[in-house]
Structure 1
Amino acid sequence: MSENKKSAAIEEMRFRLLIDAVVDYAIYMIDPGGIITSWNSGAKRFKGYEEAEILGEHFSRFYTDEDRAVGMPQRALDTAIREGRFEGEGWRVRKDGTHFWCHVVIDPIYSPDGQLLGFAKITRDLTDRKMAEETLKQSEQQFRLLVQGVTDYAIYMLSPEGRVTNWNPGAQRIKGYAPNEVIGKHFSMFYTPEDREIGEPQRALETAVREGRFENKSWRLRKDGTRFLAHVVVDAIRGETGTLLGFAKITRDVTEAHQAQLALEQTREALFQAQKMQAIGQLSGGIAHDFNNLLTVILGNLEIVRKRVGDDPKVSRLLENATQGALRGVSLTQRMLAFARRQELKTEPVDIPKLVQGITGLLRSSLGPGIRIETQFPDDLEAVLADTNQLELAVLNLATNARDAMPEGGSVVIGAEPRVVLQQSQSTLAAGRYVCLSVTDTGEGMDDATLASATDPFFTTKGLGKGTGLGLSMVHGFIEQLGGRFILKSVKGQGTCAELWLPVAVDGMTAKPLSPRPSMASVPRLSVLVVDDDSLVRTSTSLLLEDLGHRVIGAASGAQALELFDQGEVIDLMITDMAMPKMNGAQLAHAVRVLKPDLPIILATGYAERLEGFAAQLPRLSKPFNQMQLVEIIAQSMK
């Protein structure tokens, strides 16, 4: 053997060893007819055939039945001859019948004189990659179906420049645009003009690029021009090399949740306001009660002193001045009790047009010539259930406030309209018929902060010493106590409207006729038991009764009063304070009624407590009281 042949044989042997050592690729030769002529270790590993089993077989046996049926093996060889190479991917069959996905390269082999000697075939098993691709494809498809199935969120992609590249049904439902109307458009079209003007769309993208994500809540526009509050998330999408591919944008309509939150906050604020007013009302009622006790003592003693000092004009002037000062205190406590809803109301049917007509003269003199007064009442307006004096005072109060809001003059319109509150209404009023009495002015009006505090007790805008701040709170308390509602509406610079919603009087109810006042001498001399834990009030009441000629016995508590009955004390009448410790006036009255069923009992009170049972039927003496009021209620009780 020549050296050249020997060298060529060694080279061929090395090449065969190299080919056989490759296990990741099936490398084998086939003749021009497709018959396998060589077989390496990689081919054995992939396809499962030993070399002895496969040499001499046609390579088409590795193809699936479907591919053989359409002539795929021969077509691959023809392509290799025609184009110099065949390359492709497809399913192949192993010896055990299982399929695997492979990448195939077939190169034709020619002799130096151009004769086709056969084909070199290289096959690589890509089953794992194919399965990964299929899994990814399935995952992408599922994700696409998921995104397309979401209708509560607008989910779409943006290009790096901010143009919409896809559009899910949620985006169409929330924003109103079909995909063909929005794809390719810049996403800033959804922003409000104000936000576009300040560059909010670009800021969102820049933040997402810089920080990876942008998130906020703001108003957006629908196709029809309406606005909705949106919760927006923009995520920057980058490739493996960090290149910005675009943005994923998720938008949710949170308008209803926002409105629900606002409603909850308003409810909480209303609850806080109600609790505050209740607390202030209890405080005001308690102060008024104690203050009424003091005024009872002062006015009672002034009345007795006036009767005993004679006709000295200087002393009379002093007494009159002191009395007027005390009466101012009475007016103040009445307003405090009205706010606290603890005043004693004498309700009766009231004809509103007649009531306003009756105080028109007083209104004109109070408001002055610069204020024009108008009335607007329908002809068939029903009577309301109210306390006439308190309603007159409320109208005067509101009209006076209107005058103070119009220093340069203006007009006040007093009107009324029938209203109906249905059972399913969200109003705090009970279902039924009402009359809305309104007092409207053309004055300065109030801003939101002033309007919110207008009915608070002691709040005033009239300056130090020019108002008690109890006018509107008194009206509010009076109307609420009647079962109605007080509504104050105002806009700064556009005037104020105060509405009094009053319940319609029950059909057939008529006002009680006034009884003639008894004279001082119409009641015989009595033995009167006065029960009060306040010694000053007890003494003052006793002095007024003794001045009338009655015999008075005092007791500082309910228990002390009952001891007097046990001792056989002769008593014709008992006057007891309502608010006393341990045993209040109602409890004492009940105990005394068991002992003396026919004994007349009068309850004296600094405010109108809610009573039940027989105590609610007893005559009541409101503090502070004067001697004539004592005479009247004693006469009423002794009938």
Structure 2
Amino acid sequence: MGFLAEGGELGAMMRALDWSDSPLGHPHQWSQALKTTVGMLLAAQAQIVLFWGPDYVALYNDAYAPGIGANHPRALGRPAIENWGELWDDLEPLLAGVRRTRKTFAAKDRPFYVERHGYGETSYWDVSYSAVPDDDGSVGGVLCIVSETTERVLGETQLRASEARYRELNATLEQRVTERTAERHLLATIVETTDGQIQALDLDYRWLAINTACAEAYERIYGKRPRVGDSLHEFLADRPEHLAAATAIWARALGGEAFTNIEEFGDPKFDRRVFEMKFETLRAPDGTRIGAFLTGTDVTDRLEEQARLAQAEAALRQAQKMEAMGQLTGGVAHDFNNLLTPIVGLLDMFQRKGIGGEREHRLIAGAAQAAERAKTLVQRLLAFARRQPLQAVPVNIGRLVADMGDLISSTTGPQIQVTVDTPEGLPEAMADPNQIEMAILNLSVNARDAMPDGGELRISAKARTVAGEHKSGLAPGAYICISVADTGTGMDETTLAHAVEPFFSTKGVGQGTGLGLSMVHGLASQLGGALTIRSAVGAGTTVELWLPVSHAAATAIDTAPQPKLRPLPVGTALLVDDEPLVRMSTAEMLSELGYRVVEAASAEDALQRVSDGLRPNLLVTDHLMPGMSGTDLGLALRNRYPDLQILVVSGYANNEGITPDLSRLTKPFRSDELAASLANLAKVGR
């Protein structure tokens, strides 16, 4: 349950919770969409609760827990109606509407009746309810990003009441008071009784009145309090910039303008706060303008909460977009693998048989080269979708980067000065060395293309420690950071925002696939690391690949060529695949290898042939097919015939659903790759 590892107290509580009687079941069984959403909300600082499934099962984070009072922790993992019963008639239509329409419901200062502390009360909330898609595209749940505003709403209500009392008293004051000194005295007394921050200045910028709340606010941001009779000019004489800002806004009010303004004030040595201020004109009984007064509210905390809420919503949208793109590209890659399998297989057969003359040989070789490029493209798609097969082992990154220096120099050309910096004693990283080499080469080619007139390319590796929050969302721990920095043209903010999206490219048509950075991004994520990019127009680009440090001994990178293995003919091969073209090319390969091939279009068809008397020595089956999977077919036949050799072929690059004790081959493949897999089967059988 790695997605719960960094979830604070609620993450720990979810890991320890007995989920047996929860409608969601154990977290291991959750869909990927649910896991991704829960991992995001646990790491967020905003108040977030997720209502999942038709029962609206509640999952929430540390920031949200205090807001439900005594209902925590019993609400965790339970249907919402059990713990939000007193407001269910109000809440359920909102949640159901979001599930039904997929439209976000948002409201400011929305009232809800709650009984969270043993008694009923009306609470107020800023809310944003959004639909969260499940793995199959249906609405899985409703994500509620909220911020309680009860204290502010009640405070503003009291402030408005105080203002109303003040205006009423001021109206009667003009009738009852004839002397200006008496007016000032009474005005100061009235202002002092209010809860809001209230002050009044005369036309000479001297305080006519200021209440305790306002004086305390001045002391908080400037370290001193003004008193009635003090001059604003003298009070801020030691801070000219602050004085200019204060007199500018007061000048409008003293000039007779009534307005509301929001501005930040304060000396950074003490505190900077944001205030919402309402200015009005102050007049004598005869209507003469004698000054101005304001009622103010400190809105710093409210604005910060709104900013955090907007940031959380943006992060959720980005996570949902990248997850959707990953699912799309993974599915496309699977279909491409099925299409490429007969193409690669038949071209391989044509080359081995030497079909045609010299011109035909060149054409077939060109087609085979194009098929290999398509195969590489699919691998990059799978890398972005985090579905490529990785052989993660402890790797000496310093040695790997250093050994690539000459290759990178020859790739970038003489106009670019390449510098490799890898200090001795770097700890090993947990990675796939072949994929890391490809990633560094991709980044170097991108850097070369960004420096058409030449420049400097610096590749380095350093040990780094993440202790707190990291801009990429990395968990705290030890990492190796591989940096590829160039002095090229750089990227603007718009380009940088789309840099890791698949097929996004700033190069001309035919000059790139747009998958280089997306492949490295997917590789880093799959290995438990991250990719960060810093760039500015004209200032070059620095791309950093972060990899987790391994705590095991490093493994040497094996570059020795593997010997070509040929399987021994062992009789009848039962070939099962629902794609006719794939089945045709694979059958041809098996026949060339000496097998008598019997074809079946489905697992059910294969079982029927065995029931009719077929006794195969070898089963070669696709994994994902309509009806029974190839893995289930293999296990069923192995129970009948323990000596049966089984090879599972898959268009997906991951091992999900395939039993570990079954041998596996990934589409597309050539005849020699199929032969090697079958030879290994024969070797194990002996």
Query: TM-score, length-normalised on structure 1?
Result: 0.70
Question: Do structure 1's residue 364 and structure 2's residue 405 form an aligned pair?
Answer: no
Preserved CA contact (<8 Å) 2:222 2:271? no
Question: Do structure 1's residue 628 and structure 2's residue 672 form an aligned pair?
Answer: yes
C-alpha distance in structure 1 between counterparts of 2:511 and 2:284, whole Å: 75
**Letter in structure 2 aligned against 1:601:** I
Query: Offset of 1:520 from its aligned partner?
Result: 5.4
2:251 to 199, 202, 215: 202
Query: Offset of 1:254 from its aligned partner?
Result: 3.0
Residue matched to 1:293: 338
Preserved CA contact (<8 Å) 1:412 1:440? yes
Residue matched to 2:498: 453
With over 3 angstroms needed to count, the CA separation of the structure-2 counterparts of 1:227 and 1:140, relative to structure 1, is closer
Residue matched to 2:660: 616
C-alpha distance in structure 2 between counterparts of 1:516 and 1:392, whole Å: 17
Instruction: List per-residue Cα deviations over 1:446-484 (Å, max 9, x = no partner).
Output: 222111111011111112221211100000001111111
Residue matched to 1:442: 487
C-alpha distance in structure 2 between counterparts of 1:392 and 1:538, whole Å: 35
Residue matched to 1:77: none
With over 3 angstroms needed to count, the CA separation of the structure-2 counterparts of 1:137 and 1:365, relative to structure 1, is closer
**Residue pairs, 1:164-183, within 5 angstroms:** 164-167=207-210, 168-179=215-226, 183=230
**Letter in structure 2 aligned against 1:179:** P
* Larger CA deviation: 215-224 vs 441-450: 215-224
Residue aligned with 2:424, SS: coil
2:231 to 184, 195, 202: 184
Residue matched to 2:139: none
With over 3 angstroms needed to count, the CA separation of the structure-2 counterparts of 1:257 and 1:370, relative to structure 1, is farther
Residue aligned with 1:165, SS: strand
Instruction: List per-residue Cα deviations over 1:566-613 (Å, max 9, x = no partner).
Output: 33321222222222223333333343343344433222222223525x
Preserved CA contact (<8 Å) 2:395 2:555? no
Preserved CA contact (<8 Å) 2:236 2:243? no
Query: Offset of 1:365 from its aligned partner?
Result: 1.2
Query: Offset of 1:266 from its aligned partner?
Result: 2.2
Residue matched to 2:150: none
**Letter in structure 1 aligned against 2:219:** Q
C-alpha distance in structure 2 between counterparts of 1:606 and 1:466, whole Å: 28
With over 3 angstroms needed to count, the CA separation of the structure-2 counterparts of 1:215 and 1:137, relative to structure 1, is closer
C-alpha distance in structure 1 between counterparts of 2:339 and 2:535, whole Å: 39
Residue matched to 1:19: none
Residue matched to 1:232: 277
Question: Do structure 1's residue 279 and structure 2's residue 328 form an aligned pair?
Answer: no
C-alpha distance in structure 2 between counterparts of 1:261 and 1:358, whole Å: 50
1:580 to 608, 621, 625: 625
C-alpha distance in structure 1 between counterparts of 2:309 and 2:613, whole Å: 64
Query: Offset of 1:269 from its aligned partner?
Result: 1.5
Residue aligned with 2:552, SS: coil
Residue matched to 2:378: 333
**Letter in structure 2 aligned against 1:156:** Q
Residue aligned with 1:624, SS: coil
Residue matched to 2:604: 559
Instruction: List per-residue Cα deviations over 1:187-222 (Å, max 9, x = no partner).
Output: 99899689859965534555xx35xx4112233343
**Letter in structure 1 aligned against 2:599:** G
1:411 to 428, 445, 456: 456
Preserved CA contact (<8 Å) 2:223 2:270? no
**Letter in structure 2 aligned against 1:158:** L
Residue matched to 1:549: 594
Residue matched to 1:158: 201
Structure 2: gaps of 5 or more residues: 1-175, 178-182
With over 3 angstroms needed to count, the CA separation of the structure-2 counterparts of 1:426 and 1:470, relative to structure 1, is closer
Residue matched to 2:56: none
Preserved CA contact (<8 Å) 1:164 1:182? yes
**Letter in structure 1 aligned against 2:358:** P
C-alpha distance in structure 2 between counterparts of 1:226 and 1:466, whole Å: 54
**Letter in structure 2 aligned against 1:412:** L
C-alpha distance in structure 1 between counterparts of 2:229 and 2:488, whole Å: 52
* Larger CA deviation: 215-224 vs 298-307: 215-224
**Letter in structure 2 aligned against 1:628:** D
C-alpha distance in structure 1 between counterparts of 2:649 and 2:475, whole Å: 32
Larger CA Rg, structure 1 vs 2: 1
Preserved CA contact (<8 Å) 1:558 1:584? yes
C-alpha distance in structure 2 between counterparts of 1:223 and 1:535, whole Å: 73
**Letter in structure 2 aligned against 1:325:** A
Residue aligned with 1:608, SS: coil
Percent identity between matched residues is 41
**Residue pairs, 1:331-480, within 5 angstroms:** 331-422=376-467, 428-480=473-525
Preserved CA contact (<8 Å) 1:176 1:224? no
2:312 to 254, 267, 292: 267
Instruction: List per-residue Cα deviations over 1:139-195 (Å, max 9, x = no partner).
Output: 978745445xx6xx6432122455443442223224444215993125998996898
* Larger CA deviation: 306-315 vs 379-388: 306-315
**Letter in structure 1 aligned against 2:507:** K
C-alpha distance in structure 2 between counterparts of 1:558 and 1:371, whole Å: 57
C-alpha distance in structure 2 between counterparts of 1:373 and 1:464, whole Å: 27
Query: Offset of 1:412 from its aligned partner?
Result: 1.4
Query: Offset of 1:300 from its aligned partner?
Result: 0.7
**Letter in structure 2 aligned against 1:545:** L
With over 3 angstroms needed to count, the CA separation of the structure-2 counterparts of 1:195 and 1:403, relative to structure 1, is farther
Query: Offset of 1:624 from its aligned partner?
Result: 0.9
Query: Offset of 1:509 from its aligned partner?
Result: 6.0
Instruction: List per-residue Cα deviations over 1:296-355 (Å, max 9, x = no partner).
Output: 111111122233454621111111111111111111111111101111112222211221
With over 3 angstroms needed to count, the CA separation of the structure-2 counterparts of 1:624 and 1:553, relative to structure 1, is same
**Letter in structure 2 aligned against 1:621:** L
With over 3 angstroms needed to count, the CA separation of the structure-2 counterparts of 1:538 and 1:223, relative to structure 1, is closer
C-alpha distance in structure 2 between counterparts of 1:248 and 1:560, whole Å: 88
Preserved CA contact (<8 Å) 1:344 1:607? no
Residue matched to 1:88: none
With over 3 angstroms needed to count, the CA separation of the structure-2 counterparts of 1:205 and 1:564, relative to structure 1, is farther
C-alpha distance in structure 1 between counterparts of 2:440 and 2:608, whole Å: 50
Residue matched to 1:523: 568
**Residue pairs, 1:18-29, within 5 angstroms:** none
Preserved CA contact (<8 Å) 2:480 2:546? yes
* Larger CA deviation: 520-529 vs 399-408: 520-529
With over 3 angstroms needed to count, the CA separation of the structure-2 counterparts of 1:493 and 1:161, relative to structure 1, is farther
C-alpha distance in structure 1 between counterparts of 2:494 and 2:191, whole Å: 53
With over 3 angstroms needed to count, the CA separation of the structure-2 counterparts of 1:601 and 1:361, relative to structure 1, is same
Preserved CA contact (<8 Å) 2:566 2:679? no
C-alpha distance in structure 2 between counterparts of 1:484 and 1:617, whole Å: 29
Preserved CA contact (<8 Å) 2:426 2:463? yes
**Letter in structure 2 aligned against 1:608:** A
Query: Offset of 1:251 from its aligned partner?
Result: 3.4
With over 3 angstroms needed to count, the CA separation of the structure-2 counterparts of 1:510 and 1:357, relative to structure 1, is closer
Preserved CA contact (<8 Å) 1:195 1:201? no
Preserved CA contact (<8 Å) 2:236 2:242? no
With over 3 angstroms needed to count, the CA separation of the structure-2 counterparts of 1:288 and 1:535, relative to structure 1, is same
Residue aligned with 1:553, SS: strand
With over 3 angstroms needed to count, the CA separation of the structure-2 counterparts of 1:423 and 1:447, relative to structure 1, is closer
Query: Offset of 1:508 from its aligned partner?
Result: 3.9
* Larger CA deviation: 581-590 vs 401-410: 581-590
Query: Offset of 1:615 from its aligned partner?
Result: 0.9
C-alpha distance in structure 1 between counterparts of 2:243 and 2:484, whole Å: 41
With over 3 angstroms needed to count, the CA separation of the structure-2 counterparts of 1:603 and 1:242, relative to structure 1, is farther
**Letter in structure 2 aligned against 1:232:** M
With over 3 angstroms needed to count, the CA separation of the structure-2 counterparts of 1:585 and 1:140, relative to structure 1, is farther
Instruction: List per-residue Cα deviations over 1:378-432 (Å, max 9, x = no partner).
Output: 2110111211111111001111111122222221111112123458889733443
With over 3 angstroms needed to count, the CA separation of the structure-2 counterparts of 1:597 and 1:241, relative to structure 1, is farther
Instruction: State the superposition RMSD in angstroms.
Output: 3.4
Query: Offset of 1:499 from its aligned partner?
Result: 1.0
